[in-house]
Structure 1
Amino acid sequence: MNYSIGFDVYGTLVDPVEMGQHLENLIGDKASEFGQLWHDKKVEYAFRRALMQQYADFTVCTQQALQYCLHVYQLSLTSTEQQQLIAKFAELSAFDDVIPGLKKLKEQGHQIAAFSNGPELSVRTLMANSQILPHLHHVISVDDLQTYKPNPDVYQYLMRRMQADMNSCMMVSSNPWDVIGAKSAGLQAVWVKRSPNKLFDPWEIQPDLIVSDLIELAEVLKG
């Protein structure tokens, strides 16, 4: 069976840990902690905005989360330094398994999309810089709906954009909340467990499939 597959971007297709290198240059030995808090807060801010129906695109969430982290760690970066740091998100590299995995999935006849909370132009630039874009059929952003995952509307939108139904549309993400959101909306969902130490939320909703990377996903779907 051929699927229409939406892939989460940050943490699934590209490696956000690379931001640590840029943070170290500006922040020093607190870079790892700072980077994790920054990631957690920007996701939290997106969740808040969706629930409050006070939408601003993910760039705003990223900027405001950075401001929060600077206050927490009592650090000061100039406006130019902050913009240069945020711009590095467009230069993240693909995980080693991503391009070979997407190639295999595409050869098998599956329809492939990057599906992100980020604005389409930003995501498309990132996908081009990471060499992923040629292996995609679509770049789809929740920005079109002015809300965020895991709002069920965005997963329904993914299906409409890919002209697929619940039986043929699949969400692939390294984020358990994204997998749970997609399953709750009726899609099939795959959790990419990129670290053996990662745990899935102990909810009544569980992934249809757990894989370690996209090459394994391609092997399973070849079935």
Structure 2
Amino acid sequence: MSTPTILFDINETVLDLSILKPKFRHYMGDENHMSTWFAMLLHSSTVCLVTGTKTNFKSLALTALQSIAGRLNIDISDEGYRDMLGTFACLPAHDDIQPALIELRKAGFRLVALSNSSSELLESQLAQSGLRDCFDDAISVEQAQTFKPSKTAYQYALDKLQLQPSMVRLVATHDWDTHGALCAGLKAAYIDRSNAPYNPHYLLPDIVSNNMGDIAKQIIGKAQK
């Protein structure tokens, strides 16, 4: 029998983007531009996905930074952009992540990182955060020339792992991501890290909490029933 597997979204779910705020304050004058930048990055990846435009997460991240700087009439050097994107590769893990990963592995789950980040960026992020050994595998959906929440992205991960959707659960702090996984036939768990309402138009996972420790307990509890 296949080992039950948990896929983890990485950016914001596992890794804390708040370390980027001082960079945005320094280069753009307001740390709140970080949230706008990440939303623009996700929006542009979805547009490229829907229109079949081939690109990569790093290029889209830079384009979003340049777009915000243009709107603010701010001139940022190439070195400044490299500084901001370089920090994106060195994000720390949220405090509740590593203990939960350890508990899930003890309970017999296979843990896999699944990200829109490129393979190179994903490996750097996991290594810099000290979490690489916590994951059995790391999958970038860019290898399939797609982005989440495309069904193709989740199916790509399933194919690589040689698993059926019913054996896999995605953990994410983005409701569009958990919705995408559920639409692809996977189970899901939602971590509410922002206190924003879950989109009522999206499918709702059977596990919801505001911390990863409780998410892990619920996952283990359901597996034991």
TM range (shorter): over 0.9
CA distance in structure 2 between the aligned counterparts of 1:22 and 1:43, rounded to whole angstroms:
20
Structure 1 equivalent of residue 15 of structure 2:
14
CA distance in structure 2 between the aligned counterparts of 1:139 and 1:132, rounded to whole angstroms:
11
CA distance in structure 2 between the aligned counterparts of 1:146 and 1:221, rounded to whole angstroms:
31
Normalization by structure 2: what TM-score? 0.94
The 3 A distance-change label for structure 1 pair 47 and 8 is: same
Q: Is the 8 A contact 1:166 1:187 kept in 2?
A: yes
Q: Residue 48 of structure 1 aligns to a residue in which SS?
A: helix
Q: Alignment RMSD, CA only?
A: 1.4
Q: Is the 8 A contact 2:58 2:117 kept in 1?
A: yes
Structure 1 equivalent of residue 28 of structure 2:
27
Alignment of 1:128-207 (within 5 A): 128-195=127-194, 197-203=195-201, 205-207=203-205
1:72 Cα deviation after fit? 1.4
Q: Residue 165 of structure 2 aligns to a residue in which SS?
A: coil
Q: Which residue type is aligned with residue 198 of structure 2?
A: F
CA distance in structure 2 between the aligned counterparts of 1:204 and 1:177, rounded to whole angstroms:
7
Gaps of 5+ in 1: none
Q: Residue 89 of structure 2 aligns to a residue in which SS?
A: helix
CA distance in structure 1 between the aligned counterparts of 2:197 and 2:158, rounded to whole angstroms:
28
CA distance in structure 1 between the aligned counterparts of 2:150 and 2:141, rounded to whole angstroms:
10
CA distance in structure 1 between the aligned counterparts of 2:202 and 2:175, rounded to whole angstroms:
12
1:204 Cα deviation after fit? 5.4
1:143 Cα deviation after fit? 0.9
CA distance in structure 2 between the aligned counterparts of 1:84 and 1:151, rounded to whole angstroms:
30
Structure 1 equivalent of residue 210 of structure 2:
212
Deviates more, 1:19-28 or 1:68-77: 19-28
Q: Which residue type is aligned with residue 14 of structure 1?
A: L
Q: Which residue type is aligned with residue 31 of structure 2?
A: A
Gaps of 5+ in 2: none
1:26 Cα deviation after fit? 2.3
1:2 Cα deviation after fit? 5.3
Residue correspondences, number: 220
Q: Which residue type is aligned with residue 215 of structure 1?
A: G
1:85 Cα deviation after fit? 1.1
Q: Which runs of 4+ in 1 moved over 4 A?
A: none
Post-superposition CA distance 1:134-166 (Å, at most 9, x none) = 100011011111011111011111112222212
CA distance in structure 2 between the aligned counterparts of 1:155 and 1:215, rounded to whole angstroms:
24
Structure 1 equivalent of residue 40 of structure 2:
41
Post-superposition CA distance 1:58-107 (Å, at most 9, x none) = 00110110111001111111111111111110111100011111011111
Q: Residue 91 of structure 1 aligns to a residue in which SS?
A: coil
Post-superposition CA distance 1:183-215 (Å, at most 9, x none) = 0011001111124x2211112521121022221
Structure 2 equivalent of residue 113 of structure 1:
112
Identity of matched residues, %: 25
CA distance in structure 2 between the aligned counterparts of 1:221 and 1:187, rounded to whole angstroms:
14
CA distance in structure 2 between the aligned counterparts of 1:2 and 1:212, rounded to whole angstroms:
26
Q: Is the 8 A contact 1:2 1:108 kept in 2?
A: no
Alignment of 1:36-75 (within 5 A): 36-75=35-74
The 3 A distance-change label for structure 1 pair 16 and 222 is: same
The 3 A distance-change label for structure 1 pair 190 and 204 is: same
CA distance in structure 2 between the aligned counterparts of 1:26 and 1:156, rounded to whole angstroms:
39
CA distance in structure 1 between the aligned counterparts of 2:191 and 2:162, rounded to whole angstroms:
24
Normalization by structure 1: what TM-score? 0.95
